[in-house]
Chain A
């Protein structure tokens, strides 16, 4: 095993890898239904969840990697690389879709229970594969839990001009992004989905988080620095996190509702907390978490190079592969729980094993890249950039 300092030489902020790795684990745990281990994930203790972390950090790293490329090689080359990345993610998404279809088809032919005749309507789309598969290729038909990658694809496709503007007029770019967010709320626009409805993650709303991440990467973080060091900022952030935790706990522990009575006006004000359109409460909650994290875990913290955190950092550095693997493992884990046992020991086992497989796979990918990097003399630089830049 190599020492965990692969990337510090490039000046990369390991906190990004750490939290993206953690986000990938949390997304995996949350995607296994009826999993007792998912009680540890942050969605139970506040408004935002791992999706916010993932999209923000993805925006940050995309700007970090492709921003440098745009600086050195120009708009066309870096734009082409961004689109290539979008294509890779598209292929990965379709691969996951194939696995999903396999699972559904298996259940369709092997499961009969008169209690759940209605739920089996989910299998209707197997009767019209022509429609379903074409709509999936168009990213309009997206099975449950497969919404993040399509969002990511759209965000990357739109990213070259945004990055261009961010490098020239960062404030303007950020304001533009906020304006699109407000307009999406005001006029309720979103991309259409199949068979009906709209995208679960509205790209016009979620782009705000992605662009904000990119803005932070291109100097925004330094500009926010003094503000984040204020005691008042930290106090407000902590208070909001505590408030969100109390509210969120009442959803999952209904008996708490006995003790926590919100006035009706506050109830009406905060509900519903809209994930599709990245509710302001969610966005604010993410900002509060980020502010507190930045305050208490400085970039130079020795913790970040410790062995204990290395597995998460490693997963964060190969995020696309590990994200897809996590989605697959969540399917597979649920399948095992249904077929073998759904007992608590099995939930714990599936969760732990899944994370170990994610870590092992990330280590394996790193090994491949190292081997290929050594073997290839023609383009060592780009191989290196891929690794150092991590996955955007």
Chain B
């Protein structure tokens, strides 16, 4: 009988460990995630109208394939996380994904998108296709500027989101010049940059995820997307100066 409390304790510790293992360990250091640029439109929408309409505009890496893909990709997860962290606020996230389009292709469609969706915040995920096709970085930069200007004119805040960190294809196409351009454009328009590249590299280096893994591992992809959604939510709350729960 004397063993009993010890066993209970051990079971509790194990259960806690299991819970910790369930929750992905994907913290992001502040310097990788937060900057000085604010999301003013988001602040006023949340505070005054108690709503937050987000559009995710991007290419294939904003989606996951398969029947359980859409609900576990980061846009849907973002909606869930923000709804939970912003009680009383009506959060909606719509995705407008087009595979294989460059930033230039997207920039042209921004006016229509803003008119149709009237988003408070647009998360523009881009850069991968431009890097693969080796679009002239000047062209890429001009397209980003045009797109961001159109979004601002349509009264939407913008978060630019760069490429995924993809260690296996790293030697096959160079993403850094395009990531650099995105950082410059984001800074110029005082918009936050969601540095997916740096954040995922951080996860890879700290061992949070094995991004070298091959195989049809949907679990890994879903966990990564969940963590991306949590990080974006933290960025939105920080840059929008919002009061939020955990």
Contact = CB atoms under 8 A, between A and B. Distances in A.
Interface of A: 31-34, 103-104, 107, 110-122, 143-145, 188, 193, 195-198, 200, 251, 254-255, 257-258, 267-268, 271-272, 274-276, 330-331, 334-335, 338, 342
Contact of A144 (B29, B136, B172): B172
B216 A107 contact: no
Given A33-B170, A196-B135, A276-B137, A114 B60 contact: no
B59 interface: yes
Nearest to A104: B172
Contacts of A122: 132, 169, 172-173
Interface residues of B, number: 52
Given A118-B59, A119-B128, A145-B174, A110 B214 contact: yes
Interface in B138-192: 138-139, 141, 164, 166-174, 177, 180-181, 184, 187-188
Contact of A34 (B60, B170, B177): B170
Interface centre among B29, B137, B168 (most CB of A within 10 A): B168
B60 A33 contact: no
A246 B49 CA distance: 44
Nearest to B59: A118
Contacts of A196: 133-136
B98 to A, nearest CB: 12
A254 B59 CA distance: 27
Contacts of B11: none
A115 B213 CA distance: 10
30 contacts: A33-B170, A103-B172, A112-B216, A113-B213, A113-B220, A114-B64, A115-B64, A115-B224, A116-B164, A116-B169, A118-B59, A119-B164, A120-B169, A122-B173, A144-B174, A196-B136, A197-B136, A198-B136, A200-B134, A251-B180, A254-B198, A272-B141, A272-B180, A330-B171, A331-B171, A334-B170, A335-B171, A338-B168, A342-B204, A342-B212
Interface of B: 29, 31-32, 59-61, 64-66, 99-100, 128-129, 132-139, 141, 164, 166-174, 177, 180-181, 184, 187-188, 198, 201, 204, 211-218, 220-221, 224
Contacts of B184: 271-272
A144 B170 CA distance: 9
Contact of A33 (B59, B99, B167): B167
Contacts of B170: 33-34, 334
Given A118-B128, A335-B171, 11 more contacts: A34-B170, A104-B172, A114-B217, A115-B64, A117-B65, A122-B172, A143-B172, A195-B133, A197-B134, A254-B32, A272-B184
